[in-house]
Amino acid sequence: MKYFIYIFLLSIIITSCKSVEKAVGNKGNAEVKIQPVKLSEEDQRKFEYFFFEGIREKMKGNIQKSLMYYNECLKLDPTSAVTMYEMANIYYNVKDMVKAQGLLERAVTINTENLWYKLLLAEVYQMNKLTDNAIQIYEQLVNKYPDNDEYLYGLAQLYQRNKNYDKAIETYNKLEDKIGVNEVITLEKEKIYLDMKKNKSALSELEKLIKKYPSESRYYGFIADYYLYLKDYENALKYYNKVLDINPDNGIAYFSIANLDIIKKDTTGFIKNFERGLLSKGTPYEVKLQKILPLVVNRQNGFIKDNDIENFFNILNENYPFQSNGFIYYANFLKSINEKEKALKSFKEAVSIDPNNDMIWQEILFLEYDLQKIDDIKKDGVTAIDKFPQNPLFYLLTGSAFMQSQKYEKALEYFKKGINFVGNNDKLKSQFLASVGDCYYSLKDSKTAFQYYDEALKLDELNLIVLNNYSYYLSLEKKDLSKAEKMISKCVELEPGNSTYLDTYAWVMFQMKRYFEAKYLIERAIDNGGNENDVILEHYGDILFMNGDKEGAVTQWKKALKLGKGSGKLEEKIEKGEYIE
């Protein structure tokens, strides 16, 4: 029913447009008369059909079809201002201001009395940086409708934007004479006077507000901000304190005084006033949170210590225990200073408040993975999947946790289900396929594992984890060693300082009996941190043995034994003083 009412009203608009007998456009001093097109009954029906179809397609979001129908209207009646206006609205919404301007200028020339056409044209002129043209329209509107305060305010804004400061002040004064002293007008005038370097006039405007509203504490804050802008910190502090005299719980004033403490490098004063701002009852939570965030960004300047920022977040979160954002930002801050355990705890606080935020669950699972809390990942991963069954990352992380727990069949369930939700993300799909391959290899099914690795590399040929693992497993099985060499060489080429990749490359060379090259590569792995890994040290010993350095080999095997078990053959190798495969 509403649709038919809308159509009925539009039919009235169209009919009224047809009744225009003349339109006047200024071209020099001459009047240009535009005669309306008189449509036959058949053309009128066509026009109305095309017009309504244009509206219908526009409402459905089919912009091009809508414009096609409107163009058909203009073929029938090139003087249809309402059609031009509808088309201009479309172009305005798609940011094609040139076409919108041309159509509106024609519409206004045809129908000089329509306010909507003129207001939209003024807006388009501003978008096209033709402020003078927009000003002309608003000057006409103000002259014709002197009682309309909105037009007067709009004109003042345009003067101000165009830096016609004297006219802007004059127009704001006219508006002020009509409605009285007003905060919005006062602040606009203050800004103009400051831009004109008329600082005393700017102050006078603010003092008018205080004279009219002497008990409004915010207005003393405006004067304080004025002095702060002029770097008159003594008077700024004086007026911020006046705000607190009237309203002792004004958190904004405390935050402002804290900013003055930063200028004075008074750390103690800053912390005291900032805490008072956080504890104020009348200041919105969002304002308090936004005051903390710049401290996090700028903490490297050394003025505020990390433990002070922690304290500020704790004050905020203790007083607003049901606002998840505070806990999220706190957790991100803790991550940035490598306090991962605390960050995890804060994210868990956040998710207890907002359990339906998948990004928080993601942060929790990544942190648990980083901290190797495998049992926690399994528990929290299952919960996250229950809440967000189409998020593939949750399946990948949960499956990885089960795989690390040697629950390979269970891990396969999560990997094979999660891969259905990766969509067109080939890199993520490649990682799922690689994880399935890892499970099958752990289940002693190397043939199936290698098939999945090949599929993973088809999707992402530079998946370094797959290239490394695939190469290493081939070397262990002494299969396709030339293929293994090609794959691991890519890893080392892309990450030449990665000790794991260098170790794998060395081991491939070892299996190919290229012991001298293996020695060169393993020593690079040792130089890049491999001396802290039992497997790499054991490999180093094996390679030294094959290069004829038995004494060096035993030394490296003993170092490996101190760090771990390696392949499980270390003690036997040391005891016999020889390489055991």
pLDDT of residue 27: 37
Burial class (CB in 10 A: 0-12, 13-18, 19+), 471: buried
Alpha-carbon distances, residue 500 vs 19, 269, 435, 491, 557 (angstroms): 84, 52, 18, 10, 18
Residue type, 140: Q
Cβ-defined contacts of 418-426 (< 8 Å, 24+): 418/392, 418/394, 419/392, 419/395, 421/390, 421/391, 421/392, 421/395, 422/392, 425/392, 426/459, 426/460
pLDDT of residue 555: 94
Tell me the mean pLDDT in the region 501-508: 96
323-340 pLDDT, tens digit each: 999 999 999 999 999 999
Q: Which residue has the tokens 């031009």?
A: 84
For residue 568, name the pLDDT band (cuts at 50, 70, 90).
confident
pLDDT of residue 436: 97
DSSP one-letter code for 283: S
Tell me the mean pLDDT in the region 161-186: 94
Q: Which two tokens stand for residue 19?
A: 């009744």
For residue 569, name the pLDDT band (cuts at 50, 70, 90).
confident
Alpha-carbon distances, residue 191 vs 169, 226, 308 (angstroms): 11, 10, 36
pLDDT of residue 34: 64
Percentage of the chain beyond pLDDT 90 is 89
DSSP one-letter code for 306: H
pLDDT of residue 155: 95
pLDDT of residue 35: 66
pTM reported for the whole predicted model: 0.76
Backbone φ, ψ for residue 27 (5° rounding): -135, 95
pLDDT of residue 297: 87
Backbone φ, ψ for residue 233 (5° rounding): -70, -30
How far apart are the C-alpha atoms of 91 and 53, rounded to whole Å? Answer: 18
Kindly write down the DSSP assignment for every residue of 52-104, as one continuous string.
HHHHHHHHHT-HHHHHHHHHHHHHH-TT-HHHHHHHHHHHHHTT-HHHHHHHH
Q: Which two tokens stand for residue 397?
A: 């992380």
How far apart are the C-alpha atoms of 168 and 143, rounded to whole Å? Answer: 16
How far apart are the C-alpha atoms of 295 and 566, rounded to whole Å? Answer: 47
78-94 pLDDT, tens digit each: 999 999 999 999 999 99
How far apart are the C-alpha atoms of 457 and 77, rounded to whole Å? Answer: 63
Alpha-carbon distances, residue 387 vs 325, 344, 349 (angstroms): 20, 19, 17
How far apart are the C-alpha atoms of 483 and 454, rounded to whole Å? Answer: 12
Residues 6+ away with beta carbon under 8 Å from 409: 443
| pLDDT over threshold 70, residue 13 | no
pLDDT of residue 181: 93
Q: Which residues pair with 33 in a beta bridge?
A: 24
Tell me the mean pLDDT in the region 64-70: 95
Asked if 457 and 463 touch (Cβ cutoff 8 Å), the reply is: yes
How far apart are the C-alpha atoms of 36 and 13, rounded to whole Å? Answer: 15
| pLDDT over threshold 80, residue 14 | no
The mean of the pLDDT values for the chain is 91
For residue 29, name the pLDDT band (cuts at 50, 70, 90).
very low
Domains belonging to the chain, first-starting first, are 1-129 (1.25.40.10), 472-581 (1.25.40.10)
108-160 pLDDT, tens digit each: 999 988 999 999 999 999 999 999 999 999 999 999 999 999 999 999 999 99
Neighbours of 464 (CB within 10 A): 18
269-299 pLDDT, tens digit each: 999 999 999 999 989 999 999 999 999 988 7
How far apart are the C-alpha atoms of 472 and 463, rounded to whole Å? Answer: 14
Helix-strand-coil split of the chain, %, nearest 5: 75, 0, 20
Asked if 305 and 333 touch (Cβ cutoff 8 Å), the reply is: no
381-437 pLDDT, tens digit each: 999 999 999 999 999 999 999 999 999 999 999 999 999 999 999 999 999 999 999
For 140-152, b/e burial (b = at least 16 CB within 10 A) is ebbeeeeeeeebb
How far apart are the C-alpha atoms of 24 and 32, rounded to whole Å? Answer: 5
pLDDT of residue 163: 93
508-563 pLDDT, tens digit each: 999 999 999 999 999 999 999 999 999 999 999 999 999 999 999 999 999 999 99
pLDDT of residue 567: 80
Tell me the mean pLDDT in the region 489-506: 95
pLDDT of residue 564: 85
Percentage of the chain beyond pLDDT 70 is 93
Q: Which two tokens stand for residue 99?
A: 């076409």
| pLDDT over threshold 50, residue 104 | yes
For residue 26, name the pLDDT band (cuts at 50, 70, 90).
very low
361-381 pLDDT, tens digit each: 999 999 999 999 999 999 999
Cβ-defined contacts of 165-168 (< 8 Å, 24+): 165/192, 165/195, 165/196, 168/192
How far apart are the C-alpha atoms of 479 and 460, rounded to whole Å? Answer: 22
For residue 33, name the pLDDT band (cuts at 50, 70, 90).
low
| pLDDT over threshold 80, residue 315 | yes
230-281 pLDDT, tens digit each: 999 999 999 999 999 999 999 999 999 999 999 999 999 999 999 999 999 9
| pLDDT over threshold 90, residue 20 | no
How far apart are the C-alpha atoms of 400 and 407, rounded to whole Å? Answer: 10
How far apart are the C-alpha atoms of 138 and 158, rounded to whole Å? Answer: 9
Asked if 504 and 490 touch (Cβ cutoff 8 Å), the reply is: no
∠254-278-317 over CA atoms, to 5°?
170
Q: Which two tokens stand for residue 133?
A: 């043209």
Burial class (CB in 10 A: 0-12, 13-18, 19+), 238: middle
Residues 6+ away with beta carbon under 8 Å from 267: 261, 303, 304
| pLDDT over threshold 80, residue 463 | yes
